[in-house]
Structure formats: structure tokens, C-alpha cells
Amino acid sequence: MKYTQLGRTGLKVSRLVLGTMNFGPQTDEADSHAIMDAALDTGINFFDTANVYGWGENKGRTESIIGNWFAKGGERRDKVVLATKMYGNMAAEGDAWPNHDKLSALNIRRAVDASLKRLRTDYIDVYQFHHIDRATPFEEIWQAIDVLVRQGKILYAGSSNFPGYKIAQANEIAARRGGTIGLVSEQCLYNLVERRAEMEVIPAAQEYGLGVIPWSPLQGGLLGGVIKKEVQGGRRASGRAADTLADPTSRAQIQAYEDLLEKHGIEPGEAALAWLLTRPGITGPIVGPRTAEQLRSALRAVELELSDDLLTSLDEIFPGPGPSPEAFAW
């Protein structure tokens, strides 16, 4: 496994991030524990989750599965850089209560204590805001985070799904407060198909020293060889991938992508991950394996070297917006 610093911090993390969103809803606890053991055995030390994972009536279930795995011992917790997220209401569906969601100081305090209990740990390495809160000023947010850092409950704060201007605003206010390190990472939707983050989010993250952690690196399976799998009678596309393939132009684009990689003898999903690892400012993509084989495939991407010719061809199939701000200003 290869490692890098998380943004401007001294924290060293693996270049693949283990996403746990499937733990509970799609992968049972025993298999989830086996995947985490396998990830740790291969050197993946950065695990990502969120308090709402498990979804619906099972919100928090994923954190509990991870907590039970930590409780097995074997230095599991000590070896893992643990990241979780908060924002959504954790009450049962239809039973939402004021101040039980978003980023008020009250809810941050409530949410972190509940996550610590489910995760069966006394600290969280990277505590992330799952979304912006338009109603809560960053002065209040940073006050709450400073208290948690002093209490030893969290070490760093990160963001997810933030626009570039909010990354800048958050860190400028942190700097004015003094003694607050500010955001150290940003999780954003970023892959070969969805490259809008290159316009503002990634430049802002680089300017302020945030590590960038792409989620959905295969665009919901679209970049994982979905057409080939359909032809071979395998798992059919669903959700975002199926919607994209319904458009003839987009389907032709994905077909060209798969044909290109077949010519180079590279698996599409592995190429999509390897491409992200070549991008400036990227810490590592989040991979969310449902099975051990999917984890092994992701690991192969770390060692995969993409030639300059292949990178050029990928840009031709999936052209990005271009340099910022020229791409939208000139």
C-alpha cells in the first residue's frame, strides 16, 4: 500500500479509503468484519463512515458494526485512521425533532457523543460535516469543534459536499479565530464522468491545504465495465448508472471507454481508480466493496501505471472543464 499526508496535516493515510456505506444494508456484520480485516491486512488504514449509514430505521447501524469490530481488539482501533460524518437527523423517520440535525453547536455535541458510543472508541480522527448548514455561522461551528478537540473527542475536522466558497469561508474564519486548524479534508463527488469539482472545489482545497477524498469514484458502477457485464449476463446497471446508459450519447461514451481499456488489457474499474490517483490534490478515493474480490480489484489500482497516451485518450472521451478560472471566465 502507498501512503500520503492528509492535506497539510501530519496524518499519514493510505491512498485508498475504505468506505463502509454498504456495511449493514448490503453486507452483513460477519462479512463486513472480514472486509475490514482484509483491508487492514493489505495496509489500508483510512476508514470512512457516517452516523446516518444503515439508513431508515437502521441509522447508526454501520457505525455499530465498526464499533463491534474495534472491540475484537488486536490493535484494530489503534491502526485505523477513523473518519465519520454528521449532519442528517438521526431520529426515526417521521419523528424528526428540532436541533437534532445540521451543524448547531448543540447537535455537533450530541452527534459526536452518539457516534463515539456506537463506534466503541473514545476519539474520532477526522470528524466531517456531511453538508453545509446555511443557518449556522462558522464561528459557532468552530467553537463547538474547539471544545471537542480540547476534550480529546476528535483530532481534525473535515467537510463533505462543500462548494469551493464554503471551504474558503470556513478556513478564513478559522484563521481569524486563531488556534483552530480549520478544515483538513473535503469529500466530494469526483470521477472521470463527473469532473465539475475541478472548477472550484479542488482548487479551493489545494489553496487551503485540504486533502481531497473523492466519493463514488466509479460513478455508481458506470465506470466499472457495466456494458460488458450486461452483455455477459452479469449484474445490470441500476440507479445513476442506468439513467446515464439510457441516453444514447452517454452510452456510446461509456462504450468507447470500455473499448479503450480492453485494447490496453486493463479492467475499467481499476483504471478509473488509478486515474484519480494521478490527479493533483487527491488523497485517495473511497472504495466501498461489498465483497472481498471487489476489495482486491481496488487494491490492484494502486499499483496500476497509466501511460501518458492512455491518460490523453481518457481525457478525449471524458473531457474535463479545463483550468480554473479560464474554463468558465474566458
- 3-class secondary structure for the chain? CCEEECCCCCCEEECCEEECCCECCCECHHHHHHHHHHHHHCCCCEEECCCCCCCHHHCCHHHHHHHHHHCCCCCHHHHCEEEEEECCCCCCCCCCCCCCCCCCHHHHHHHHHHHHHHHCCCCEEEEEECCCCCCCCHHHHHHHHHHHHHHCCEEEEEEECCCHHHHHHHHHHHHHHCCCCCEEEEEEECCCCCCHHHCCHHHHHHHHCCEEEEECCCCCCCCCCHHHHHHCCCCCCCHHHHHHHCCHHHHHHHHHHHHHHHHHCCCHHHHHHHHHHCCCCECCCEECCCCHHHHHHHHHHHHCCCCHHHHHHHHHHCCCCCCCCHHHHC
- For residue 282, which of 85, 1, 6, 9 has the smallest C-alpha distance? 6
Catalytic residue among 53, 87, 156, 208: 53
Residue 127 annotated to the active site = no
Active site residues: 53
